[in-house]
Amino acid sequence: MDPDALPPLAPLLGTGRLPVGDGHEIAYETSGDPDGVPALYLHGGPGGRLSPGYRRNVPADRTYLVGLSQRGAGESTPSAGAPGPVDVSANTTAHLVADIEALRERLGIDAWIVQGVSWGSTLAIAYAQAHPERVRGVVLMAVTSTSRREVEWISEGVGALLPEAWDELAALAEEHTDYRRGGDLPLVEAYRRMLTAEDPELVDAAARAWNVWEDEHIRIGTGQAARSHAVPEDEPVTEHARGFARLVTHYWARDGFVADWAVPWGAAPGSGLLGGMHRIAHVPAVLIHGRRDVSGPALTAWELHRAWPASDLVVVEEEGHGGPVMVRAWQEAMDRLTR
């Protein structure tokens, strides 16, 4: 058998929609074996979407796999990428965690393995900390916790590695907002304001610029030159591209809405997800990260691993924010946990 051959997709079982309040309805799909070990997949972003590839990463013959489009993203409605002013105030980590729990109850699942990629790993940890009794295990790839340190790095600090691209990103904010390099207004907040402005042309210009920047730093270490977020210059901005940029900046400007997540559980204010790790210290987990991930340096994965006694950390030296070796580690982790 070719070691590089892709596993087959877990067969799709069905799709559904679930009203979750605030006028929102989330879309979800199930695949694999309906009698298998329940597992949840959380996509990246915020504002990403389900792509069929995630269904390759579980043993299809013994996993009941659930994927959902997070509030405002993908097939869920209303879309955060609709043209014109969009109210995203009812879209926070607390809302998403509640949506996941509502979906678990809808499907009659007692507890499941929770998988998350990039932003999805932040959301997976937040959900696990809120509902540790509902989590059988955790698998994370391209590990993030969306702390202020991480947001400042990915939106400004990493510009030291990509000065040409970052200069273009900053220039648009300087032209249309009070943002000034070295000033008090964070660049991500400047983009949040542009992406929620009433001027549709400004919104689309900001979405176009933000998505170009995303592709610039995400691609390093992945072996990919293709742009996954950016819209070609001769094409109009899509609803997905607009919603992705809008939700990313909405969340990042507020440190993922997790800066004080652990406070009700006795952690220090501002300690975020790291301060709540004692709640899931016993939950088996595999954390997979690329050494060359300039978007999210390995420090976060290392800190979470040190605070998570039941976790294993897999650092892939030759890859960045994803790659085939990291995906194989994910597949091996799911093979082990479902057994």
- Residues marked active site are found at 118, 293, 321
Distance CA 56, CA 260 (A): 35
The residue with tokens 């592709």 is 215
Contact by Cβ (8 Å): 49, 43 = yes
Find out whether the peptide bond into 7 is cis, omega within 30 degrees of 0: no
Kindly give, in sequence order, each residue whose CB lies less than 8 Å from that of residue 183, ignoring residues fewer than 6 positions away: none
Distance CA 289, CA 140 (A): 8
Distance CA 170, CA 276 (A): 34
Dihedral sign for Cα atoms in the order 129, 131, 135, 140:
negative
Helical axes 200-218 vs 163-176, angle rounded to 10°: 160
Distance CA 199, CA 295 (A): 30
Helix (H) / strand (E) containing 65: strand 63-68
Give the pairing type, strands 112-117 and 63-68.
unpaired
Q: How many CB atoms lie within 10 A of CB 296?
A: 26
Q: How long is the chain?
A: 339
Between the two ends of the chain, the Cα-to-Cα distance in Å is: 23
Distance CA 156, CA 166 (A): 8
Distance CA 284, CA 30 (A): 23
Distance CA 174, CA 254 (A): 21
